[in-house]
Amino acid sequence: MLATVSKNFFIYASQNKPLNKAAKKWGLKFGAAQVVAGMTIESAIKQVKKQNQKGLMCTLDHLGEFVSSREEALEATDYNIRTLNAMAEAGVKSNLSVKMTQLGLDIDRDFCIDNMHQILRTAKKHNNFVRIDMEDYSHCQVTLDILRELRETYDNVGTVIQSYLYRSEQDVNDLKGIPLRLVKGAYKESSEVAFQEKKDVDENYMVIIKKHLLSGSYTAIASHDHNIISNVKEFVEENNIPRDQFEFQMLYGFRADMQLNLVKEGYRMRVYVPFGNDWFGYFMRRLAERPQNITFALKGFFSK
């Protein structure tokens, strides 16, 4: 019961616009510096280099979502382009993750698509890949529709599927051949569209992982759950799935030892590295996901 109340509180906080606005002025507080790689492109690249030196690949995410003005969306588009250019100049092993509500999806669909074209052209020039992060359920269908439209021109773009949604198995079927990051999901959704029990989410997660792997599609398994990871290892061995067809992904600042162990075992491992001043919503969702993360954050806060 307490865990549910805690989760609901942090999800509510993540969507609170006044709190998000205030947090931009606070700097990285409340332990957020442990899980957000600084405020600037330079600080993010520095952290990516450190991860690369350990054998870890990365994906950079300039934090921000649900922008309400064209000016903000254009600034975010430019920032993502500069991030791609900076990664190429530094020669780091990292791709890019983006949220389309940061690029104007809630303002105008075509405007957002134009911004995505600019980002994907830059990524293509640098032989890099862009992942469209999946947001809440209200943006799911439009995200997949835009992905399909973009894939007509660019092969260096994929997206994310969340296993807590009932529709996810069908979506994975429909997206055969497209690189997907598969996750459990981090938003609060109603029982009309999403599983509410952890065991059901976990079960569906393994279903969609196996389905995408067996289709021959490149699959990113984004999880800190050692049981899920063990099950995936066993499944790929049993089905002779080559290790260059999939990768594990984890969040920057979480389970670093497990990340390094996977690299030592010969698996591809990518770290999701968020950065920027719009960190509050991301951080609140991390606290909502697992009660352990709250203790982790408090330790970080009081150690300063």
Question: Given 61, 106, 133, 278, which residue is catalytic?
Answer: 133
Q: Is 243 a catalytic residue?
A: no
CA 253 to chain centre: 14
- The one catalytic residue among 131, 171, 181, 202: 181
Residue 181: active-site member:
yes
Q: Which residues are catalytic?
A: 133, 181
